[in-house]
Structure 1
Amino acid sequence: MLNKFTTKIVSLSTLNNYSFIIPTYQRPYVWGEEQIKKLLDDVLLSFTTNKESIYYISTFLTKEVGDKAELIDGQQRFTTLWLIALVLSEMTSNNSEISTFLKKGDELRLSFEIRDEIKNYLKALLKKESTSKFLNEHFIKKHPYLENIAEALSTIKGYFLQLSEDYNLNEFGNYIYTNVKLVKNTTPTNTDLNKLFTTINSAGIQLEQTDIIKARLLNLIKDEKIKFSRIWESCENMNNYFERNVRQAFPNWKSFNFKKPFDFNDNLFQHNEDVIVTNPKDIFSIDDLLEHDYETVNINTDIKSNQTEEINENEVYCRSIINFSQLLLHTYRIHLFKEGKTDFPEEFHSKNCIAIFNEMIKRNNTEEIKRFFKLLWKVRFVFDIYIIKWVTNIENKTEQLELMNINSNTDGYYSRTKYEPSSNLMLQSMLYFTGDYLRQYWLTPYLNYLLQDFDNVAPTNNSHLEYLEKMDNIISTRGGKSEKELSFEYLKTNEFTQQRLDIEYFNMHLGTGFKHYWFQKLEYILWKNWKDREEKNFKNYRITSRNSVEHIYPQNPENRIQHPEIENKHLHCFGNLVLLSVAQNSEYSNKSVSVKKSMFGEKKHTYDTLKSFYIFQSNQWTPKEIEEHKSEMINLLKMHYEKTFF
């Protein structure tokens, strides 16, 4: 009988003796496109950097009886790995080693205790029973739990279709199977699982690498530790606006004008020496949690001041497009550039924060560290004013990317309101959705530019748009170097020139192999040049996450008489393709062009894509119209790039 917790580093390849069960108390699978793409981007970077490297993904917690393992914690990521294995198995015809992870004997390796519809759905997929009722679109829509898994599978498939043009999927699958490592924690046999699950999910905040970096840097500052600690704490919470963080950290925050970014003013900000400035973040082991009978565990990480904060019911809340670790790394790159140093050699990743900052700590230069803290203050300031963020729409409870205006009232408090949709918003959205979610390299040069040239003008200003367009055009046409290298080099803009757009690429018939970036870039160009800007569907349109290439003239049409076979050079060409969300692609499926056109016209809120709007203006859709549309779209791209070519 197991009486203590055990911990072991495992890979999918070492778990062949186990089958896993998702228990009833677990929430359903909820991961969306953003989380899945973040995971795959991260693993891909590790794979492409060094195919022999080990990548540590996460921990998961099990209770085991023989070869049966109940997943107490970590099921979202673990389920995603199983879905990845399923897609790779299909796309590599079971040639990748990861295919062996799908089943244990004749049974699914992963099952759901009370979700028979999921088990039946996954079994039907494994057996490739295309006519099974469990794979029927209407059956899936009746079961919300199934719908999330179906969308996840489409997202993963779209990702690997893109990848297959440049990478060997067999090798990548083998890498995930053997080199992606997880930490498996196993509970004692007599553990109360419901109590453990509840405790884990209310047990407070773990110490982050950023907390360790902060402590080490402050330790090297000989004086004014409290002031610099407060600067850090003002920047730390990325899911609240900067002025609200400062409101908590500095009692006399009303003396600062948050509408105009400038350097931290030593004379302006005072602080109380007797106020506790540390963030107590207790670390709990699972053994500790079970040893004591905690009813609830509350860890207060707020910074308390003598100022009572006014509650404003109209305040708008936000979610950042990056976390604090990422902001630190972007700031440090700008700092290195300003100090005349080269970029850090390590991979740009939150997990490397301590290693990356070790060089600054080794230099042990108090004045340099103070300069970094003050730069962090200013970077966070311009980030909040000029960079898009996720904002919740109170009416429909959905999030949208927005650029936000800051307003002040007579009491010295500030509020945020949305700007009207602008080219700046659309371009930043395009960069966010087509970039690496974990890094967003475009932010390093853009934030550096804003520090020098923001001129206290609105984030929708044309001067900012021109810079961002030029930067994106230049970086998107330069090959041979990584995004990390290019984004740091672009800090020296006078040494960078644009290459010509490769028109021949768009004349190829790559089908799902076309880079998603170019569809999204075209959406931005179409939006910017749209004529009827007051039309309702256009005004509601946003560039959003899209990851699924749709053939307008269907690949496997339901009606072959209506859609005779056409040559691949037309079927798979850029003119016949649009980039949709997984849900939209599933909705159109292999329906005829006339049906798709009718469905598109019935949408009363907004357009699926602006490229689709141009396509459905045609009365018919034959190879002639496909080629004409392709030429029209290529010309729009060409003109956009020629504006910044020099």
Structure 2
Amino acid sequence: MHNSNEITPFSINEIFKSGEYSIPIYQRNYAWREGQIVQLINDVNDFAISKKRQNYYIGTLVVYKRKKEDNQSYYETIDGQQRLTTLNILYAVLKNTFNLENELPNFKKTILEFENRITSSNALELAYKGKFDDFTKYNTTIKDAYQIIEKELKSLFKISDNLVNDHLLNFVNYLNNHVVILRVEVPKDTDLNHYFEIMNNRGEQLEKHEVLKSLLLSYLENIENKTEKDITKMLFTRIWDGCSQMERYIQYAFDKNHRQDIFGKNWNTLNVENFDDLLSKFREYETLEPKNENSTSNNLEPSLRSIIKNTKYSNISNNSNQETSERFNSVINFQNFLLHCLLIFKEDNEFKLDDKKLISNFEFLKSLSNELQIRFVKNFAFCILKTKFLLDNYVIKREFISNTEGWSLKKLHFYNDKSQSYIGSFGTEENESDNRNLIWLLSMFHTVAPNMMYKHWLNAALKYLYTNYSTNGIDSSSYINYLEGFAKQLVFNRFLNNNQKEYFDIIYGEKDENFDENNLNWNKLKYSTIENNLIFNYIDYLLIKSVLNDEIYDVIGLKSFVSKFEFTFRSSVEHYYPQNPKEGFDKLNYEDLHSVGNLTLISHSKNSAMNNYMPKAKKEHYKNGAIADSVKQYLMFNKYPDNSWGSKEIKAHEIEIIELLKSQLNHHA
């Protein structure tokens, strides 16, 4: 047991004067990506703006106290290094980008050293200085984190030109004084290798969705008729467990004898309209369960009891296609999927796509009568069933087949007992191009939103599908028009607009295709003011459409490139003409350097590798086998003469891009 003085709470402000910390070699490298970083910042901000303003406990920092050669103490970090490193980077951004040094009284240096990892130590020092030079070898993951934090703080607090506002100051004040980390010192005689092994093999806690499942099932206990209660709970469990298997199509959650009843002859339509409709089909289960020879009763109850106890029925069917779980990856996890369903079901801006609030979002049920609680649980169960069916059939997945992977949009099709396969969701010959177009559109949204709580595009798509689905399916043209319109709303009524429209209003409010050009701010296309990288993907999508419509035809190989193009996860905005050119080359003026005409979206690894290459060298890199990351980048490489990229070409390309965007303002679907 630890003594009380070995477990010490520190505010984040205090942690920077609590000593020095070392990350031992047996620890993995810094590995946090955008998802974890954005989640941390948003979690802190949620508590900062709450009325109660309680302390937010960020976790534990498990350490072992050691002595240096000069007898000075330091702490070897056993657990918590990812959070501690991120906090150092976050404070560096606040100090450098927003000039908040006075608000960070104890942040006089980085307090971390990486044992035998000089590139990581270098990166943290460069982060503290606020300048990643081209002469020092450093860990690019730390630089990536620095840029992600900059972007997220500007977006979250609506900051332009790095001008600090009250919202950011409130965040910093709360971060300093109310975010608490518990430092735990392990005893002197601890076997650190054994302790570290135990720390990394801890049992997992119960997932939030499992807690929620138990909560909702408890409300069904209020059904008075025992037989009705048993079959309702059985069906609820079947739906919930089936939907939780996000990599499998929902059809496989049900016994094969019921798939055609529920999903039609070919298994790809939803033939039930509500929970009670589905429940009526499950009353037939007693005919599927062999009668107990010793039973003297033929009523339903013994059969239901055996069904509930029998894993053959209470879990995913043993007849399910095992290949499904290995072949497809969903764009969402189950906890966030439930939040999407709740938002669609309730259409209330109070519910956010933040899984830490999953259970608290359902607290409103406590104030309802038993009858209303039961009705809600049934209706919500049907909502998640329908939404999962729509997600499976009409939202992209990552498909792995024959040692290749790519985005796919497919539905499950039943031919006979021995033959089921996956075909294009809009796979008829006349709709084949629509299927491809929808893959581009959906992946355009998805690849700029790795964090689950920012998948507003998915909520919009699911809301549209939920509202417009019928047994005739979804009309591909109307679906395309909706998604294109939604993209325009984001770009012109949010990202480029001085009067930003909220995501909820765009998705759930009345459709508005009138864009007030007087409120558009084209300066938001500059490097430091771009709010969301969807703008780059949207430009690529418009370029794809232009190429396919033969509106751009004078660039060699462009049509072939577009036909094979796939949106990928790219999150680094690159300057084609570099910010810090090599010796002997001129620096560009600010306006041209940071113009959208000089910017393109690439992966962080490529941006770090080619950070200060001149345009010619970058182009040669791609000629040597690499594929351009975007259609815009392909144009920048191939539309302009070799070795000529400078202010003139940047201005010409900027005009080209802005005119392309303006062409959409009065173009209605």
Identity across matched positions, percent = 26
**Could you say what secondary structure the match of 1:477 adopts?**
helix
In the alignment, is the contact (CA less than 8 A) between 2:47 and 2:56 conserved in 1?
no
2-side partners of 1:7 and 1:577: how far apart?
Answer: 49
Between the aligned partners of 1:53 and 1:11, the Cα distance in structure 2 is 14
CA shift for structure 1 position 328:
1.8
2:101 partner SS? coil
Structure-2 change in CA distance of 1:584 and 1:228 (3 Å)? same
SS at match of 2:663: helix
CA contact (8 A) 1:85 1:102 kept: no
CA 1:153–1:568 in structure 2 vs 1: closer, same or farther (change >3 Å)? closer
Match for residue 518 of structure 1 among 519, 531, 535: 535
CA contact (8 A) 2:247 2:325 kept: no
Question: Structure 1 residues 477 and 118 mapped into 2: Cα distance closer, same or farther (>3 Å)?
Answer: closer
Give the letter aligned to residue 261 of structure 1: L
Cα gap change, 1:194 to 1:644, in 2 (>3 Å): farther
Q: How does 1:258-273 map to 2 (within 5 A)?
A: 258-263=267-272, 265-269=278-282, 270=285, 273=305
* Contact residue 238 and residue 314 of structure 2 kept, 8 A: no
Deviations 1:380-437 (A, max 9, x none): 11112222234446636xx755433424453367554778872222222232344564
Q: 1:445 to 1:346 in 2, by over 3 A?
A: closer
The whole-number CA distance in structure 2 between the counterparts of 1:75 and 1:274 is 50
- What is the CA–CA distance in structure 1 between the aligned matches of 2:44 and 2:407, rounded to whole Å? 26
Q: Distance in 2 between matches of 1:63 and 1:278?
A: 48
- 1:273 corresponds to which letter in structure 2? R
Q: Who is 1:623 aligned against? A: 647
Is 1:350–2:355 an aligned residue pair?
yes
Provide the C-alpha distance between the structure 2 equivalents of 1:161 and 1:499, rounded to a whole number of angstroms. Answer: 24
> Would the alpha carbon gap of residues 28 and 85 (structure 1) be closer, same or farther in structure 2, given more than 3 Å must change?
same
Larger radius of gyration: 2
Is the 8 Å Cα contact of residues 317 and 391 (structure 1) preserved in structure 2? yes
Match of 2:92 among 78, 86, 91: 86
| Pairing 1:152–2:145 present | yes
1:277/1:112 CA distance change after superposition, 3 Å: farther
Q: In angstroms, what is the RMSD of aligned CA positions?
A: 4.0
8 Å contact kept, 1:242–1:380: yes
CA distances 1:474-510 after superposition (whole Å, capped 9, x unpaired): 34433556635315533x54xx453235686225773
Aligned-pair distance for 1:94?
Answer: 6.4
Cα separation, 1, equivalents of 2:619 and 2:55: 45
Corresponding residue for 2:600? Answer: 578
Which moves more between the two structures, 235-244 or 500-509? Answer: 500-509
Q: What is the aligned counterpart of 2:244 among 225, 236, 254?
A: 236
| Deviation string, structure 1 residues 510-554 (Cα, Å, up to 9, x no partner) | 333223332221122112332489955434432233333322233
- Of residues 328, 341, 347, the one that matches 1:318 is 328
* AA at the equivalent of 1:542: E
> Offset of 1:236 from its aligned partner?
2.1
2:476 counterpart of 1:461: yes
- 3-state SS of 2:59 partner: strand
Query: Following TM superposition, by how much is the alpha carbon of 1:55 offset from its aligned partner in structure 2, in angstroms?
Result: 7.4
Letter paired with 2:392: D
CA distance in 1, matches of 2:306, 2:617: 70
Alignment partner of 2:634: what SS? helix
Task: Return the alpha-carbon distance in structure 2 between the equivalents of residues 348 and 644 of structure 1.
Answer: 30
**TM-aligned CA distance change 1:306 to 1:111, over 3 Å:** closer
Does residue 378 in structure 1 map to residue 382 in structure 2?
no
Secondary structure of the 1:381 match is helix
C-alpha contact 1:474 1:498 (8 A) present in aligned 2: no
Other structure's SS at 2:493 match: coil
| Partner AA of 1:546 in structure 2 | R
Cα distance between partner residues in 1 of 2:349 and 2:519: 35
Work out whether residues 43 and 55 of structure 1, in 8 Å CA contact, stay in contact via their aligned partners in 2.
Answer: no
Look up the match of 2:365.
Answer: 360
Q: Contact conserved, 1:378 with 1:451, CA < 8 A, in 2?
A: yes
Which range moves more in the overlay, 209-218 or 364-373? 209-218
Give distance in 2, aligned partners of 1:356 and 1:610. 42
Q: What is aligned with 1:428? A: 442
Deviation at 1:312, TM superposition (A): 4.5
1:340 corresponds to: none
Higher relative CO (Cα under 8 Å, sequence separation at least 6) belongs to 1
The correspondence of residues 256-295 of structure 1 with structure 2, limited to 5 A, is 256-257=262-263, 258-263=267-272, 265-269=278-282, 270=285, 273-274=305-306
Identify which of 632, 651, 658 aligns with 1:611.
Answer: 632
Per-residue deviation, residues 47-96 of structure 1 (Å, max 9, x unmatched) = 5x569945747423403437644433333333222222233333245615
SS in 1 for 2:600: strand
Q: Residues 46-65 of structure 1: matches in 2 within 5 Å? A: 49=49, 53=53, 56=56, 58-65=58-65
CA-to-aligned-CA distance 1:16-53 (integer Å, 9 cap, x gap)? 31333333433222223343344445545665x56994
CA distance in 2, matches of 1:579, 1:638: 21
User: Secondary structure of the residue that 1:608 maps to in structure 2?
Assistant: coil
Q: Is the 8 A contact 1:29 1:148 kept in 2?
A: yes
1:111 aligns with 2:113: yes
- Aligned counterpart in structure 1 of residue 485 of structure 2, from 448, 464, 470: 470
Aligned partners of 1:499 and 1:130: how far apart in 2? 40
CA contact (8 A) 1:477 1:498 kept: no
8 Å contact kept, 1:426–1:524: yes
How far, CA to CA, are the matches of 1:356 and 1:53 in structure 2? Answer: 19
Deviation readout 1:433-482 (Å, 9 max, x if unpaired): 44564142233342122123234678892221111112332344335566
Aligned length: 593
Unaligned runs of 5+ in 2: 67-72, 224-228, 287-303, 426-431
Instruction: Give the Cα separation in 1 of the matches to 2:538 and 2:176.
Output: 34
* 2:338 equivalent among 307, 319, 328: 328
| 1:292-307 matched pairs, under 5 angstroms | 305=315
Three-state SS of the structure 2 residue aligned to 1:578 is strand
Distance change >3 Å, CA 14–CA 459, structure 1 → 2: farther
Aligned mates of 2:233, 2:174 — CA distance in 1 = 46
Matches within 5 A, 1:216-235: 216-221=215-220, 222=223, 223=229, 224-235=232-243
CA distance in 1, matches of 2:417, 2:30: 46
Question: Structure 1 pair 442/418, CA: closer, same or farther in 2 (3 Å)?
Answer: same
